[in-house]
Structure 1
Amino acid sequence: MPRPRKFVESDVVSSASEVFAVHGLAASTLDDLVRATGLGKQSLYNAFGGKRELFLRALSEDREEATRAVSEALGHDGASPLERIRGHMLRMAIEFSSSDRRVSLTTRALVESTGEEDPLSTVTKAGIEQLAGIYAGCLEHARENGDLPEDANVQSLAVYFVAVTRGMELLGRAGVGRSVLTAVALDALRALHGPRADRADEVPSTRE
């Protein structure tokens, strides 16, 4: 008769997520995961099937959290759709410039994905499509309100904002400062608003 498990899977996944967020999938070792989770290698294999499977489990939870956060940010709160997108982008600039913020597993997976038809690439693509769908819903609402041209390519713009936010996250991880990320966010919004009137003459230092 198998012995009952003495650990909580969600706690193990959470601890493993921290390792994967720092090192990524390829560079994380089983020893790293053993130290972080407190489980032996065999227990990790028995419970999750291996390092890659554990990463996919952590990625799935990260994806749900990211989707929920963007959905809440772009949800109906009294502001216009474009105002919600603007507020969301500016909040991302603040969050991504924080020195203690870890990179999301969604972005880690996007960087490490090979584009081939494997589970990692499939899950990563599905996550990106899910995020794009949330942006598309908000943009479609803006078009219905007359805030976007009738011929605006909502799907393309949605993917564009996913790409910009993922790029901002990586720039923040590299140490790019808040003022630069804010400028990136505002320039991204020009795709919706046209040229920005308050555009600075000089590009701020990446450390500002």
Structure 2
Amino acid sequence: MPRPRKFVESDVVSSASEVFAAHGLAATLDDLVRATGLGKQSLYNAFGGKRELFFRALSEDRKEATRAVSEALGHDGASPLERIRGHMLRMAIEFSSSDRRVSLTTRALVESTGEEDPLSTATKASIEQLAGIYAQCLEHARENGDLPEDANVQSLAVYFVAITRGMELLGRAGVGRAVLTAVALDALRVLHGQRMGD
């Protein structure tokens, strides 16, 4: 009879996510053992191996990213464009924090090769899921008359995913809040039909 587990899977996945966000798939089993407190055999028994644990952590990170953007852009009495503006400015603050790690979703995006492999497939799914949330909010803005009828909601949605993921990487590289805020505000000008720098 197998011994009962003495760990909480979600805690292990969270700890592993920190390691993978810092090192990507190059993280070693020793890195994971140190972070999770589990032995190598226990990690294999519980998750099937390093790659399987990586994709489990990536899936959880994606759920959290989706939840956070959904909450930020959900109905709260503000107009759709005001919600996007508030979200972008909050991202500038969060991403400029010196102790904030890059999300595993963004790390996977950087490591993705674009080939038909599990990492690229998972990354593409993450982008599509996030873009879908932005698209919903932008579609409401168009219905309200805040965007022109011919606005390409789908491409604008992907644009905001690209801007926020880029802001996250810039923040990780040490770019400060003032610059990230300027990036966010410049990105928002696109919604008002202005060119960057106008």
* TM-score (normalizing by structure 1): 0.91
Indicate the larger mover: 36-45 or 132-141: 36-45
Q: Tell me, in whole angstroms, the C-alpha distance in 2 between the residues paired with 1:114 and 1:54.
A: 20
C-alpha displacement of 1:13? 0.5
Q: Tell me, in whole angstroms, the C-alpha distance in 1 between the residues paired with 2:25 and 2:94.
A: 23
Give 5+ residue unaligned stretches, structure 1. Answer: 195-207
C-alpha displacement of 1:115? 1.2
Aligned residues: 194
List per-residue Cα deviations over 1:85-134 (Å, max 9, x = no partner).
Answer: 00100000000000011110000000011112222111111111000000
Q: Tell me, in whole angstroms, the C-alpha distance in 1 between the residues paired with 2:53 and 2:115.
A: 20
CA RMSD of the aligned region, Å? 1.8
C-alpha displacement of 1:3? 2.0
Q: In the alignment, which residue of structure 1 is the partner of 2:92? A: 93
Q: Tell me, in whole angstroms, the C-alpha distance in 1 between the residues paired with 2:56 and 2:121.
A: 13
Q: In the alignment, which residue of structure 2 is the partner of 1:173? A: 172
Indicate the larger mover: 110-119 or 90-99: 110-119
Q: In the alignment, which residue of structure 1 is the partner of 2:158? A: 159
C-alpha displacement of 1:20? 1.2
List per-residue Cα deviations over 1:65-93 (Å, max 9, x = no partner).
Answer: 11000001000111110010001000000
C-alpha displacement of 1:62? 0.6
List per-residue Cα deviations over 1:169-208 (Å, max 9, x = no partner).
Answer: 00000000001000100000111023xxxxxxxxxxxxx9
SS of structure 1 residue aligned to 2:160: helix
SS of structure 2 residue aligned to 1:39: coil
C-alpha displacement of 1:2? 2.0
C-alpha displacement of 1:4? 1.8
SS of structure 2 residue aligned to 1:130: helix
Q: Report percent identity of matched pairs.
A: 95
Q: Tell me, in whole angstroms, the C-alpha distance in 2 between the residues paired with 1:26 and 1:80.
A: 43
Q: In the alignment, which residue of structure 1 is the partner of 2:135? A: 136
Indicate the larger mover: 109-118 or 97-106: 109-118
